[in-house]
Structures are given as C-alpha cells and as structure tokens.
A and B are shown apart, each in its own frame.
Chain A
Amino acid sequence: MTRWLTALLAAWLFHTPAIAADPAPVRLVIKPLLCVLDKTATTCSVTFDIRWKSTQPADYCLADSVTPDPLRCWQRSVTGDMKHERSFSDDFAFWLTPPAGGARLSEVKIEVLRVGSTDRRRERRTRHVWDVL
C-alpha cells in the first residue's frame, strides 16, 4: 500500500514541468493554470496572477496566443508582475518574449477542462465488468 502511494507520488512529481524548467534564465509563473467548467458553463472568467523573474535585466514583453499585440512590456527589469482578467473557453498560452517578438523565452499553457457532456450517453454511471466500482 505504502509502496503504491510512493510510486504514484514519484510518478506525478517527475511529471510536473516546474521541476524540469527551473534552470531557465527567465521564468514565468501564472496562476491559475486550469479552469474547470461544468457542462452548463461555456466560458471561464479568471483573474490571472502573472509573475516573472529573470537572471539578468533586459526588455521583456508578455504575449499570448489569442491577441496579436503584447499585453504589457517591461524595460531593463529582472522581475515583473501583473493581474490580468480574461474570459475564455479554449486552451491558450502566455509567454515572455523580447520586444521585437520571435523567441518565446518562457511559456505557460492555460487549460480548460470540461467535466460533463451534453451527450447524455457520456454521463452514464456504469459498474465496469473488469473492476468493481
């Protein structure tokens, strides 16, 4: 039992991208990363807490995959933070980029998860044949 839980915890921790992404010179941290929608809801309305930190001062802009223009730019900075309100219904990404654009220095994906379905068949409660719950 204990071995099972340890193995599961280890598997999840090694799956977490935050650990692997630590050595990057610029790190973007955004909360929340996930919006959970019930079947009756169509959009997420979220206030994002956006923070970034760099190992060296430079010009950075925050961009996303929805709007063509940067949301905000910082000059000769090593850190930055902002609040950002948005309504959305699909996955999208934020990233830090130089003012000229191009490179994505640090990227964060925002995900939308829909629980439930308008197809009632997908809401069936079944007791599986091959297990018991």
Chain B
Amino acid sequence: MKNLLKIALLGLMAANASGQAPATDAGAETNALELPEERRWRLGAALGYGERSNPLIQSDDIPVVIDLDIAWFGERWFFDNGDLGVSLVDNRLFTTNLVARVNSDRTFFGKTNTRLVSVRMMAGGATGALADPATGETLQTPQPLKPPKRDYAVELGLETLFGGEWGQATFRAFHDASGTHDGYEISADYSYRFTRGRFSVAPMVGVTWKSSDLSNYYWGVHRDEDSATLQFYEPRGGLGWETGVRASYFLSKSVRFAVSANYERLQHSVAQSPLVVRDHVSGYFAGLGWQF
C-alpha cells in the first residue's frame, strides 16, 4: 500500500515538475485530425432488460433495467461512473492515471436471504452434517444459513491505457485504501471495436489477479463466521479471466440499440468457497440507449 502511494505521489510530482498538461498531446493529436472538441460531460442511459448471475449462496441474480453512464473529463481530473481519476502521464503511446474506485465484489452481497438448512456448506461444493463449530456436536434441527455481510472497499491504484488502430489495452493495479480487505488486484484487458455502417461491436478479453487478502475478505468464511451451516474457509490469491462483447446499432446520433454479454470465470480458490455456488458470473443486457 505504501509503495503504491509512493508511486502515485512520485507520478504526480513528475507530471507537475515537467509542467506537462496531460491533455495537451491528446489535444494536438485532435487538432491534427481536425476533430471537434468533445464535451466534458458524458451523460447517457440505457433502458431495457438484463441480468447478472450471482455466484453467492442464498442470493438472487441481479436484474438490470437501466444502465446509467455519468462521466466528466477535465484537463487532468475525471469522473467516470464512480471512478475518480487524475492523469499523470499522457503521450502519444499511453495514458497513465491515478484512480480511486469502489471494489465491485461487494455488489454480490446486496441481495441475500436466509434459509433454514439441514446441511453444512463446505469447500468445493461439498455438504456435511450440521455441526456446532465449538463442540463438533452434530445438530439435528435445521439451522439458518445466511451469507455473511461484506463492506464496500475504496481502492486506489494506477492504470495505464493504450490505444490505436490495433485496439485498446488496459493495465491496472489497485490496493485497498479503506482498510476493508487490505488486499490488491492486478488486471489487464484488451478490446477491439469493429464499426460497419451503423453497427459497432467490441469484443474484449481480460485477466485479473486478486490477492489472498482480497479474496479471503469477500469470499472466505472467516473464523468468527464459522457456524453450524458454514465451514471455515480461507481462499488464496488467484487468477480469473473474463470475456465479453458490447454491440450497438445506432438509430440516430443519440439513440442506439445496445446489447452486451459478459462471462467471468472466478479464480479457482474463490470458486471452491462454501459461499460460492457457481464458478462463474455471466451477464447480459439489451435495450435502447440514449446519449444526452
């Protein structure tokens, strides 16, 4: 964490010391192409229907009927749908930003319920007899099973964005800055957009490494949560991957028909958790989008 903050501060100092305005290079490129200046605000909404599966036990899949897009881009600072960032370096080859964001794993813990069960949830999808964790005594009556509570974590990190005719690539490294899980996450993704006529489609692939602390906080069964229905479990750090596609058919300059689908494979150790019923998360959405 300290190292990450040092890197971020050094980056800020370097950008300030050189008097480099990150948007200048991009602006020069824009002028060279004679492109009109983009508005600072980007406001959009998509209405339709979609769902994201929830890998957490005793929880509902997450319906999506509206997808909001709220972003603001200044010379250095930007707000992008909950992410707050500042550009440290922006040149012909890449853009590096310091970003604060909210961890998205907490989303799964928002729609949970309690059920009386007659088995104990164990690692790897196995079940056993209900047992008192203190005495080991077998229990005969059904016991309540409810996923534990998890908090949102504010994470601070660096991201580097690459882009060109070959597509877009992103490298990110984030660390918990809120003392919630004290872990870190490193990810990389690549996407490419094809545009033909009014149709645009952008497939993507990505990999994410989540540390032991992060994985354990959200997906482990902690010592104090070891119960008659949930067995203690401590996942390790690991690598997950995801793929997805976003497509748009533009009906006008501001209205489009949008479709997106996403598949995320949980890292093995998380998928083995007693809290997890599926080893993946899948999502889809289709609807009409407006850009204001």
Chains A and B bind each other: yes
A42: contacting residue among B35, B64, B165, B193, CB under 8 A:
B35
Does the CB pair B64–A133 fall under 8 Å?
Answer: yes
Smallest CB-CB separation from A128: which chain B residue?
B81
**Interface size, A (range):** 35 or more
Known: A4-B49, A114-B35, A118-B30. A34 touches B195 (CB 8 A): no
State whether the Cβ of A90 lies closer than 8 Å to any Cβ in chain B: yes
The interface-forming segment of B129-137, B138-146, B270-278, B283-291 is B283-291
Give the complex CA separation of A7 and B86 in angstroms: 40
A119 engages B23 (CB within 8 Å): yes
Q: B82 contacts A34, CB within 8 Å?
A: no
The complex places the Cα of A119 from the Cα of B64 at a distance, in Å, of: 29
User: Across the interface, do B64 and A115 meet the contact criterion of CB distance under 8 Å?
Assistant: no
Which of B34, B42, B49, B285 contacts A122, CB < 8 Å?
B42
- Could you list which residues of chain B lie within 8 angstroms of chain A, going by C-beta atoms? 23, 26, 29-30, 33-36, 38, 42, 47-50, 52, 62, 64-69, 71, 73, 78, 80-83, 85, 87, 90, 94-95, 97, 101-102, 104, 107, 159, 161-163, 165, 168, 170, 189, 191, 193, 195, 197-198, 200, 204, 248, 250-253, 255, 260, 262, 283, 285, 287-288
Residues of A within 8 A of B (CB): 1, 4-5, 8, 11-12, 15, 32-34, 36-38, 40, 42, 89-91, 111-133
Q: List 23 A-B contacts (CB under 8 A).
A: A4-B47, A34-B250, A40-B165, A42-B33, A42-B34, A111-B252, A115-B195, A115-B200, A117-B38, A119-B26, A120-B168, A121-B95, A122-B38, A123-B168, A125-B204, A126-B80, A126-B81, A128-B69, A129-B81, A129-B82, A132-B52, A132-B107, A133-B64
